[in-house]
Amino acid sequence: MRIILFLFIFISTLSFAQDKTPVKRDPYLQAPLQAKPLPQKPEDKIKIIHADKIIKDPAKYEGNQYFTGNVQIEHQGSVLTADEVVLYNEENFVKAMGNTKLQNADGSVITAGEMEYDGNTQKGVARKNVVLTDPKQTIKTDILYYDRLANQAYFNTGGTISDSQGNVMYTKSATYFLDTKMIDFVGNVKIDNAQYIIEGVNIKQNQNTNTAEFFGPTTITNRANPKNRVYTERGTYKMGTKEAFLNKNSKIFYNDKILTGDDMYFNQITGFGKATGNVTLDDPKERRYIKGGYGEIFEKKDSAMMTKNPYAVKAMEKDSVYFAAEKILSYQRPDSLDIKIKKSFLRAYKKARIYKSNAQGRADSIAFNETDGIMHMYTKPILWSGEKQVTGDKVEAYFNTKNENIDSLKVIGNAFAISKVDSTNLKDEFNQVKGKFMTVYYEKNDIKEARVVGNAQSIAYVDDTDQETKKPERIGITLSACGIIGALFEERALQIISCSIGATSDTYPMSKIEPSRRKFQDFNWNTKDRIRKWQDILVDSPNNEEIQYTSDNELFDKAQKAIDDEKAKEEAKKPKRTRK
């Protein structure tokens, strides 16, 4: 009996003529009737497979036939089921209502409260609690437009897309390409995951490769630590491996720091990131940033590295400190006394340079404890303050963290301090003090005092004030040697305030001290590499023209000439022996 009923329904759908009243379609399905010629082949027609009832009521559906009860129709391999279906036979068009379900040949399924389907264009519209599922994801929305020929689905009324990876996407508008499993989001998009949240505009997501492409401002936020996030305006994100490839106006926020660059990479699992081009690593808490051509960050170690002409700027209230080298590292470590407190460190390797308004220096490497204000200079360090120069095997500088000035220096091994006697002239006159170890004290941002321990020696020019002219008058040079020397750097003089342990000290008038004794053998006054402005640190050496100083040997030469003349006279008085 059921077979007979089915045949009756099937034959009726082919033979009953429909009214000519055009069906009221969704605008998405509207097209001139003449532009859609009727199918020529029987297999192109929508087929009724089953229905409990076939009805034709002039007062309902403009007199078109409709089917009720477990209705099942088929077209081009896709099967539509519903509680009720209206068939517009001449237009090859159906409207389905109640528990509608479209099973497509590719395995995708659409369920909705109602559907419209055009067999000629193979386009359809699903409404009311629409759900599209396939092996890759589930789409939920109010209205879904789908095109079986193009094999794509589209919605613009807001919806969610859930995939097998646990991602949930919220968007106003999206197009899903069923062949390539690509989702093209338009407008504001939010992708929610257990580990991160992606928010942006104009995102394309490939469900086969589990990759998202960004074509507008987009942010990837770490759910566990929302401060750690990635921002870009053009990039690619591998959602499985949590790798971001960023190409335009990009920033990586991590541990209260910000990394920017022309092209960037970041792995949210390992916490490793890198950037090339115009790279900047900004640390607002430390008020310090580093610039260079290439940079790397290690989020879990809270460290970073910058190369390719890098330099760092430590901003201070009244002054700033500039660092440069071939490589600069920055990192944070817990305080040994309190692990809740983190200390910040900066290290500059190979040909390191530093500039501060009252102190400039260079060494093979520099290590700076930013928290405690301690700076170490290793391997041939040299530090200038005004017209004073300090060198040694190692230099340690101690900054006052409150007023941000240098309080003191420690010079360890071959300590040597040089001061120009008078910076207003080019005379070859330098006060010098040296020894094994030296502590240098600052006052008002300038070197004021030095304490030298171990084989301490000094060369100091001595002046006195002429009572008539009230101008300084050169007395001579004092040579001192002690176990410990205390020296005071004054405006034009090096005053030896203490000389203890095996002390010897002699003052020689300028006429009595030869030029070779006015400088220590390892005298190393350096004007070629002297850093005068902060931009000088951007090169290995400013390569200044060496300053040529003039020696004032007039008194010594005159006295020496007098001695030589006297010797000559004495020689002349001696009787001459003649050989017989």
DSSP string, 456-473: EEEEEEEEEE-TTT-SEE
In 134-217 the beta strands, taken as DSSP E runs, fall at 137-147, 152-155, 159-163, 168-177, 182-192, 196-201, 203-206, 211-214
pLDDT at 19: 44
- Over the stretch 472-492, which tens digit does the pLDDT of each residue have? 788 888 899 988 988 888 777
pLDDT at 9 over 60: no
- Over the stretch 308-321, which tens digit does the pLDDT of each residue have? 999 999 887 778 89
Using the Cα atoms of residue 227, residue 233, residue 239 and residue 243 in order, give the sign of their dihedral.
Answer: negative
Phi, psi of 535 (to 5 degrees): -65, -20
Cβ neighbours for 490, distance < 8 A, ≥ 6 positions apart: none
Contact 520, 567 (CB under 8 A): no
CA angle (291 as vertex; 286, 296 as ends), nearest 5: 85
Contact 249, 202 (CB under 8 A): no
pLDDT at 271 over 60: yes
**Which of the pair, 447 or 402, is modelled with greater confidence?**
447
**Which of the pair, 160 or 510, is modelled with greater confidence?**
160
Helix (H), strand (E), coil (C) string for 196-263: EEEEEECEEEECCCCEEEECCCEEEEECCCCCCEEEECEEEEECCCCEEEEEECEEEEECCEEEEECE
pLDDT at 307 over 90: yes
Q: What mean pLDDT comes out for the span 365-377? A: 92
Nearest Cα neighbor of 461 from 409, 425, 436, 500 is 425
CA atoms of 189 and 201, how far apart (whole Å)? 6
pLDDT at 7 over 50: no
Average pLDDT score over the chain: 85
- Over the stretch 399-439, which tens digit does the pLDDT of each residue have? 887 777 888 999 999 999 999 888 888 888 899 999 999 99
Contact 187, 212 (CB under 8 A): no
pLDDT at 258 over 60: yes
pLDDT at 546: 87
pLDDT at 47: 86
CA atoms of 367 and 393, how far apart (whole Å)? 15
Read off the pLDDT band of 10 (50, 70, 90).
very low
Separation of first and last alpha carbons in the chain: 170
Containing 119, the helix (H) or strand (E) segment is: none
Tokens of 269: 């699992």
- Over the stretch 50-63, which tens digit does the pLDDT of each residue have? 988 888 888 888 88
In 316-471 the beta strands, taken as DSSP E runs, fall at 320-324, 327-334, 342-356, 359-369, 374-378, 382-385, 388-391, 394-399, 406-420, 430-443, 446-465
Spell out the domain ranges in the chain. 255-380, 381-572
pLDDT at 182 over 60: yes
- Over the stretch 112-131, which tens digit does the pLDDT of each residue have? 999 999 988 889 999 999 99
pLDDT at 60: 85
pLDDT at 337: 77
The model scores a pTM over 0.75: yes
**Which of the pair, 461 or 59, is modelled with greater confidence?**
461
CA atoms of 580 and 577, how far apart (whole Å)? 9
CA atoms of 113 and 107, how far apart (whole Å)? 20
In 422-573 the beta strands, taken as DSSP E runs, fall at 430-443, 446-465, 472-489, 494-500, 504-508
**Which of the pair, 208 or 562, is modelled with greater confidence?**
208
**Which of the pair, 580 or 238, is modelled with greater confidence?**
238
pLDDT at 21: 59
Cβ neighbours for 201, distance < 8 A, ≥ 6 positions apart: 186, 187, 188, 189, 215, 216, 217, 218
Tokens of 448: 């004021």
Q: What mean pLDDT comes out for the span 140-150? A: 92
CA atoms of 48 and 67, how far apart (whole Å)? 9
User: How many other CB atoms are there within 10 angstroms of residue 558's CB atom?
Assistant: 12
pLDDT at 348: 95
Read off the pLDDT band of 178 (50, 70, 90).
confident
pLDDT at 6 over 50: no
pLDDT at 503: 82
Read off the pLDDT band of 496 (50, 70, 90).
confident
CA atoms of 180 and 135, how far apart (whole Å)? 13
pLDDT at 490: 78
Q: What mean pLDDT comes out for the span 31-56? A: 71
Read off the pLDDT band of 12 (50, 70, 90).
very low
Read off the pLDDT band of 104 (50, 70, 90).
confident
Nearest Cα neighbor of 484 from 416, 435, 441 is 435
**Which of the pair, 204 or 400, is modelled with greater confidence?**
204
pLDDT at 319: 80
Using the Cα atoms of residue 444, residue 448, residue 454 and residue 458 in order, give the sign of their dihedral.
Answer: positive
CA atoms of 30 and 43, how far apart (whole Å)? 23
Containing 60, the helix (H) or strand (E) segment is: none
pLDDT at 234: 95
Using the Cα atoms of residue 187, residue 191, residue 197 and residue 203 in order, give the sign of their dihedral.
Answer: negative
Using the Cα atoms of residue 11, residue 14, residue 16 and residue 21 in order, give the sign of their dihedral.
Answer: positive
Tokens of 140: 């939920």
CATH number corresponding to 255-380: 2.60.450.10
pLDDT at 266: 94
User: How many other CB atoms are there within 10 angstroms of residue 170's CB atom?
Assistant: 16
High-pLDDT (> 90) share of the chain, %: 45
The length of the chain, given as a count of residues: 580
User: Among 22-36, 86-100, 443-457, 492-506, which stretch is predicted with the lowest mean pLDDT?
Assistant: 22-36
Bin 402: left if φ > 0, else alpha if -120 < ψ < 50, else beta.
alpha
Query: Measured between alpha carbons, how far is residue 526 from residues 362, 422, 431, 522, 529 in Å?
Result: 11, 16, 15, 12, 6
Q: Using the structure block, give the residue that is written with the tokens 């209205």.
A: 143
pLDDT at 42 over 70: no
CA atoms of 76 and 96, how far apart (whole Å)? 17
Nearest Cα neighbor of 394 from 410, 373, 378 is 378
CA atoms of 66 and 82, how far apart (whole Å)? 12
